[in-house]
Structure 1
Amino acid sequence: MLSFEEKQAIIESFPQLSKKEISLNRVNYHFEDSLYEKTIVVEKLHPNGNGFVYVGDLLKYDSLSNDKGLVNIRDFDERALREIVQDAIDYLSEDLETPIEETWIGQDGVIIELRHDQRDWNIYFNNNLEESFGTREAAVSYLKEEGFKIKK
């Protein structure tokens, strides 16, 4: 487990975040450029190593987050902490009004759409939702396993 100081050093390596001390020797880290009302990325980081990162409704962290969209980072290693903090910053800086869409074609000519909607990567067939993934990598891996290729 990383120490409080190690976690602080990792979090403070993100220049987009600003540190704010709160009660009981805890600190929060804010992302002031958030496109949303929510600005706290790291919440209640405590000298005992406990703390939370806001991931909202990102599917990637669905099994780890509570009902407030927070993930406890007490036992995170450096790689995992860096990844979740970056994902949180990306989440709060993402413009949801501009969806990303890709057309994929199967070996049998079936055409499906991969869309980045509301922070999830969804696969549609005839405008019907077929699958949903937390990351583009997971969605693309699934499509390739099923024999699909991106239509150029």
Structure 2
Amino acid sequence: MLTFEEKLSIIETFPELQRKDVSLGRVNFHYPDSVQEKKIVVQHLHPNGNGFVYAGHMRKKDTDRKGFINIRDYNEAELKELIQRSVDYLSEPPAEIEEEENEFARLEGAWIGPEKQELTLQKEDLLWNVYSGSNLEECFESPVEAERYLLDEGFRQSKKRKM
């Protein structure tokens, strides 16, 4: 496992990232040139070596609900690659992001839970919202996050799709 200082040193090789010291000795790194609302690439890098990198767009990685991956056990090459992929993604023009999200239109509609409860996933503006009836349950910045949430909660798509 890399130390806090080693991770800082690696992250600081990305000149496009700006360091922001936060509470408890933790450090965030922002990407101010992001074309998306998301600007934080590295979140809560802690002196104990723990920290997170934004990767909500990467389907093959396990991320938290906000799209971050824990980097505690990453080596130098893995950390560099993850940060570069995050910066690349946040640099994509909005038109490409919209095209990517259009491929996820199939996710919109009714989802049935393990106890036959029904939720509806709907894209609204830049968000993917999950509703229980007319009540908003959750909001997500990407369809990948929304789908992962629904599947993790035991929901499956209903035969009736879009509303």
TM-score if structure 2 supplies the norm length?
0.58
Match of 1:18 in 2: 18
Between structures 1 and 2, the one with greater helix share: 2
**Gap runs ≥5 in structure 2:** 104-163
Structure 1 segment 101-120 matched on structure 2, within 5 A: 117-118=100-101
The alpha carbon displacement at 1:55 in A equals 1.1
Q: How does 1:41-56 map to 2 (within 5 A)?
A: 41-56=41-56
In structure 2, what is the Cα distance between the partners aligned to 1:95 and 1:14?
20
Q: Which amino acid aligns with 2:92?
A: E
Cα deviation for residue 67 of structure 1 reads 1.3
Separation in 2 of the partners of 1:43 and 1:98?
25
Is 1:17–1:30's contact at 8 Å kept on the other side of the alignment?
Answer: yes
Q: Deviations over 1:80-115 (max 9, x none)?
A: 00000001101111124148xxxxxxxxxxxxxxxx
Which residue matches 2:86?
88
Q: CA deviation at 1:66?
A: 1.1
In the alignment, does 2:22 pair up with 1:39?
no
The one-letter code sitting in structure 1 at the alignment partner of 2:100 is D
Q: Distance in 2 between matches of 1:87 and 1:95?
A: 15
* Identical-residue share of aligned pairs (%): 52
**Which residue number corresponds to residue 74 of structure 2?**
76
Q: C-alpha offsets along residues 120-150 of structure 1, whole Å, 9 cap, x if unaligned? A: 9xxxxxxxxxxxxxxxxxxxxxxxxxxxxxx
* Structure 2 equivalent of residue 97 of structure 1: 95
- Segments of 5+ residues of structure 1 without an aligned counterpart are 100-115, 121-152
Flag the structure with higher strand content: 1
Count of residues in correspondence between the two structures: 103
Instruction: Give the letter for the 2:3 counterpart.
Output: S
Q: Does 1:29 align with 2:12?
A: no
Q: Are the counterparts in 2 of residues 96 and 117 from structure 1 also a CA contact under 8 Å?
A: no
TM-score normalised according to structure 1 size? 0.63
Runs of 4+ aligned structure 1 residues displaced above 3 Å come to: none
- Report the equivalent of 1:142: none
Q: C-alpha root-mean-square deviation of aligned residues, in Å?
A: 2.2
SS in 2 for 1:97: helix
SS in structure 1 at match of 2:82: helix
Amino acid paired to 2:71: I
